[in-house]
Amino acid sequence: MEQKRKIGGESLRNEDAMKKDMISELPEALLLHILSSVPTKAVIATSVLSKRWRSLWKMLPKLELYFEHDSSEDVYRLLILHKAPILESLHLSIEDKSARLDIRILIGIAFSRHVRELVLSFCHEDQHTVRFPSVLCSYNDTLEVLKLTQHILLDFPSRVCFKSLRELHLYYVEFDDEASVCNLLSGCPRLQDLVVERHSNFDVETYTITVPSLQRLTIEEDSSQDMDGGGYVINAPSLKYLNIEGLYRIDFCLIENAPELVEAKIGDVSDIANENILASLILAKRLSFYFPLERYREECPVGWEWNQPKRVPECLLLHLETLVWTRYGWQREDEKQVATYILKNARQLKKATFDPKYVEPEELEKRREMLDVLASVARASTSSHLVFEPVDL
């Protein structure tokens, strides 16, 4: 009987332990770390659970808020109630249909909390833009990541000072003038990663990127708008990686200083009228681009023919070391001519890889014969190695 009472008592104690709120007993630092991965509005909702949880959300190091139908007062109130001395990250996505929201207050609160990552997205039904407060950008030594999206006007009459900014993303924002572009970028002495997505010639004619510390640059020109023209001047002596989409929509892209450029990825180059744009990329150690030969053949009613250049480009003659040709049309005479031209002139070539398009089973033998012909071409580089990727049947 005594043994049964003992077992029964242990069962009751175990049941009480299971009913106990174990999460609330965790240290505050651990709780905040866990809650940082939960949507902010869900964390705010936990304030009704108990006295312990009532103010816990106010110390979150990361806030991610989306406002659609809320009033501007709701946005201000949440940020003012937040008490964390250092805000690691603030993400604000706002659809402000009334256009009454004062972005200066939001930015001011974020900067007063020493925010390190600031992500702002604004959307207005009438395409109304909100002006980013330049007066608050005269000195900031904590912001490391800044991402701005849509309907934000950047007007910087003088140089900003984002002393610690390493990463800057600008998605379809609007600059007041070309000086504002320069005053923003020149005020970021530690900037390493810059992403620009915009409509060609929408706000400024010449987009000058002069950043000595910049290592990665991504530019994407939107092809959905009929706004061709303008271009870029890039002076980035530390630049290592360059990625450009929609290059054919601009008039110029002058790379004045990029001696450390390792890799350049260029989108569709088929419609680029200014050859100097591609000439600026001659220093890249790895160059990738897309050229839709199939589209050209479809658009030419009398057939498309490849015309051999009058002189061999210097980059091909003296610098090309690795060639990767995807979707190689082994059955096309024009593509075979281009491949042969490269192999006969690339003196520094070390490896050439040809990745063919889909092949029907009955074409395998003919494909092998055609590739044997390519392999027999007298190459300028006797040490080069040819690789033919297997095909999918």
Q: What is the pLDDT of residues 251-273, one digit of tens each?
A: 888 888 888 988 888 876 665 65
Instruction: For residue 81, give Cα distances in angstroms to 47, 54, 113, 236.
Output: 13, 12, 12, 42
Q: How confident is the model at residue 136 (pLDDT cuts 50, 70, 90)?
A: very high
Task: State the pLDDT at residue 387.
Answer: 86
Task: State the pLDDT at residue 189.
Answer: 97
Say which range, 190-194, 377-381, 386-390, has the weakest mean pLDDT. 386-390
Reduced to 3 DSSP states, what percent helix, strand and coil does the chain have, rounded to the nearest 5?
Answer: 30, 25, 40
Instruction: Return the exposure string of 346-379: e unless at least 16 CB atoms fall within 10 Å of the residue's CB, then b.
Output: bbebeebebebeebeeeeeeebeebbeebeeeeb
Higher per-residue confidence, 228 vs 369: 369
Residues 6+ apart with CB under 8 A from 13: none
- Give the residue among 340, 345, 348, 341 at the shortest CA–CA distance from 322: 348
Task: State the pLDDT at residue 223.
Answer: 63
pTM of the model: 0.77
Residues 6+ apart with CB under 8 A from 213: 188, 189, 190, 191, 192, 238
Q: How confident is the model at residue 46 (pLDDT cuts 50, 70, 90)?
A: low
Find the mean pLDDT for residues 86-102: 77
DSSP label of 319: I
DSSP label of 81: H
Find the mean pLDDT for residues 100-128: 83
Return the axis-axis angle of helices 333-345 and 364-375, rounded to nearest 10°.
30
